[in-house]
Chain A
Amino acid sequence: MEESYTTAIRLHGVTKQFDGASAPAVDALDLEVPAGSIVALIGPSGCGKTTTLRMINRLIEPTSGRIEINGVDALEQPAVELRRDIGYVIQQVGLFPHRTIAQNIATVPRTLGWDNDRIRERTAGLVELVGLDHAMLDRYPDELSGGQQQRVGVARALAADPPVLLMDEPFGAVDPIVRGSLQNELMDLQQQVHKTIVLVTHDIDEALKLADRIALMNVGGVLEQFASPDELLRDPANEFVERFVGEDRVMKRLQLATVADLPFHQGPVVAASATPVEAREVMRASGSAWVGLTDRGAFLGWVHGPDVHDDGPLTDAPRSLPAAQVGRDSTLRRAMEIIMTSRTSVAVVDDGGRFGGVITLEQIRAGLDQGPEVIAA
């Protein structure tokens, strides 16, 4: 994660005291959301995460404090205008049941007075962006599945291309399989649109998966830790954070990082044109009983040390052992599983059909030790 960034949303000493409540729901909260990043607000019930979110678009008015959005004081602006620049996605989706999908998506553009051609063009583009069929534009929300409705909700929030997107437990109401694919789609979408997203969730795994930074809040609206997912897992600020993220912190860290995050490692691998002497030298240097052969970037397979003979090219040696392979986008956890079940204790990185180095348990452990410099979340 880059250290210098522009702040899109800045909360300064934001407090919300509801009428008749003995303690504030959110207490002097300071929070900075970097532009173009996803920040997850998470915590137990009553931690004020939803209240915080709804103060950003002023569905709830703060009792005191300052909220700045892209340099503008949000509390000085008329609330209605402020909200038209902020996409809003909620768990119940909240699609207008009496309007077609096209009409739903066009809500904010219509309010802003776009002409019909521009609205039609935008609507068609958005439907594609969120992976829905054009035939759905004339349907009504109740004719769509929960997952499709949620996609429409995202399309509607993005309609007027707002720089900021607020999402309140957006995937809480769909089943786990749909939730997983919607999460993946959101990450792909974010690659294309680069919005500043604040996301409320109660699911730590969702936060770890989606967020660039996680704000872990405690009851009464107290911020316990604000850090990247890897930092939160590697270095919890206190016992509350430690308990909240759970016991399997190491496994979760492995789940966060991918093979691509580790530095390239050649391993005991030589070109198929190398001499047997060179092959033995590589095996000796790495303490391996196996040597891998590559030919013009492609991995050919493993050759067992005793099978390497001086009288002939390396390619004559039998390569019976199937290579354990991982992709560059596999998680380190998956890579670990593959290494554990491989006889060579090494997995070959398949970089789109080309040899991308090898990966070992030792490397994975080194990655965990070094933290986010190596394992970028």
Chain B
Amino acid sequence: MDVTLAQAALPREISLSEFLFSAELWTRDDGILDTLVDTAVLCGAVVLAATLVAVPLAAYLAHHGRGEIAVTWMVTLSRAVPTLAVAALLVPVSLRIGLGFEPWPIFIALLLLALPQIYINTYAAIRGADRGVVGAARGMGLTESAVLWRVEAALAGAVIMTSIRVAAVQVIATEPLRAFLGGDGLGRYVRDGLGQNSPSQIVGGTILIGLFAASTALAFRGAERLALPRGVTRLSSNAT
């Protein structure tokens, strides 16, 4: 009994390979796999919400040439928003209105990270669509919504998709802050490792976060190739 308590209080240091390749650590309840899914759901929700808000809004305003000043401000401000501070400040608010420690504070903080990024790039890409092409489209009698969605959005498609991908990677790389604000997610291993003075967990957790971010980027690239029509994808491959 004493021995078990001591072991629980001071777990023995495990090696990095043990941490990464132990089937038990992955599959047990609340193990790495569950944590990964948990992280993926939160990040997915953030990126989806950011995309659904930012892309249509930015596209619409850019098409009509409105809100250019808002974009300028957003470019400046989005660089200055400290995600950790925002999330930390939101925790007491969330507690007061009865939403608990998480996940709303980190969700909103990550949304503030992803949304401006996608918004700014979508806006710029739609505004930057070749004026000659757009003028020809309008001159041929395409409706305004056809000009926006079939021409401008198609020309901007690759840039918009890239901005979503970059935002997703940033969200995944920033999400571990959640573990330091009373939540879980992949950051928990870094947090626990720091607390338990266990370099294997710190490094292992960091590797997991990095791999997850990298494979997300790859998955996005694959999805871009599948989702965008050939005419649009070959535009971006010609450009690079």
Q: How far is the CB of B130 from chain A (nearest CB, A)?
A: 7
- Which residue of chain B is the closest to A166 with respect to CB atoms? B139
User: Is B154 in contact with A98, judged by CB distance below 8 angstroms?
Assistant: yes
Instruction: Tell me which residues across on chain B come within 8 A of A59, comparing CB atoms.
Output: 135, 138-139
The CA of A281 and the CA of B132, in the complex, are separated in Å by 68
Given known contacts A81-B141, A98-B155, A90 and B132 CB-to-CB distance under 8 angstroms = yes
User: Is B135 in contact with A142, judged by CB distance below 8 angstroms?
Assistant: no
Query: Which of B25-33, B35-43, B85-93, B231-239 is found at the contact surface with chain A?
Result: B231-239
6 A-B pairs with least C-beta separation: A94-B136, A92-B132, A83-B141, A98-B231, A84-B141, A88-B139
Q: How far is the CB of B104 from chain A (nearest CB, A)?
A: 40
- Number of chain B interface residues as a range: 20 to 34
Cβ contacts B156-179/A at 8 Å (1 or 0 each): 010000000000000000000000
Cβ of B124 under 8 Å from chain A: no
Given known contacts A99-B231, A100-B231, A83 and B133 CB-to-CB distance under 8 angstroms = no
Instruction: Tell me which residues across on chain B come within 8 A of A153, comparing CB atoms.
Output: 136
The CA of A76 and the CA of B137, in the complex, are separated in Å by 21
The CA of A310 and the CA of B96, in the complex, are separated in Å by 130
The CA of A59 and the CA of B229, in the complex, are separated in Å by 29
- Which residue of chain B is the closest to A83 with respect to CB atoms? B141
Cβ of A279 under 8 Å from chain B: no
Instruction: Tell me which residues across on chain B come within 8 A of A83, comparing CB atoms.
Output: 138-141
Instruction: Tell me which residues across on chain B come within 8 A of A108, comparing CB atoms.
Output: 140-141
Instruction: Tell me which residues across on chain A come within 8 A of B106, comparing CB atoms.
Output: none
Q: How far is the CB of A17 from chain B (nearest CB, A)?
A: 20
User: Is A93 in contact with B132, judged by CB distance below 8 angstroms?
Assistant: yes
The CA of A111 and the CA of B143, in the complex, are separated in Å by 9
- Number of chain A interface residues as a range: 20 to 34
The DSSP consensus for interface residues of chain A is mixed
* Chain A residues with a Cβ under 8 A of chain B: 57, 59, 80-86, 88, 90-100, 103, 107-108, 111, 140, 142, 153, 156-157, 166
Instruction: Tell me which residues across on chain A come within 8 A of B229, comparing CB atoms.
Output: 98
The CA of A214 and the CA of B139, in the complex, are separated in Å by 23
- Which residue of chain A is the closest to B234 with respect to CB atoms? A140
Instruction: Tell me which residues across on chain B come within 8 A of A82, comparing CB atoms.
Output: 141
21 sample A-B contacts, Cβ–Cβ < 8 Å, listed by A number: A83-B138, A84-B140, A86-B141, A88-B136, A88-B139, A91-B132, A92-B133, A93-B132, A95-B133, A95-B136, A96-B137, A96-B231, A98-B157, A98-B232, A98-B234, A99-B231, A107-B140, A108-B141, A111-B140, A153-B136, A166-B139
User: Is A111 in contact with B136, judged by CB distance below 8 angstroms?
Assistant: no
Q: How far is the CB of B189 from chain A (nearest CB, A)?
A: 44
- Which residue of chain B is the closest to A156 with respect to CB atoms? B140
Q: How far is the CB of B162 from chain A (nearest CB, A)?
A: 16
Cβ of B61 under 8 Å from chain A: no
Instruction: Tell me which residues across on chain A come within 8 A of B146, comparing CB atoms.
Output: 111
- B residues 96-150 with Cβ under 8 Å of A? 130, 132-143, 146
Instruction: Tell me which residues across on chain B come within 8 A of A140, comparing CB atoms.
Output: 231, 234
User: Is A97 in contact with B141, judged by CB distance below 8 angstroms?
Assistant: no
Interface hub of A94, A108, A111 (most chain B Cβ within 10 A): A94
The CA of A251 and the CA of B76, in the complex, are separated in Å by 63
Instruction: Tell me which residues across on chain A come within 8 A of B137, comparing CB atoms.
Output: 94, 96, 107
Besides A83-B139, A85-B141, A99-B231, 20 more A-B contacts (Cβ < 8 Å) are A59-B138, A84-B141, A90-B132, A90-B139, A92-B136, A93-B136, A94-B132, A94-B134, A96-B151, A97-B133, A97-B231, A98-B155, A98-B157, A98-B232, A98-B234, A98-B235, A111-B140, A111-B141, A111-B142, A142-B238
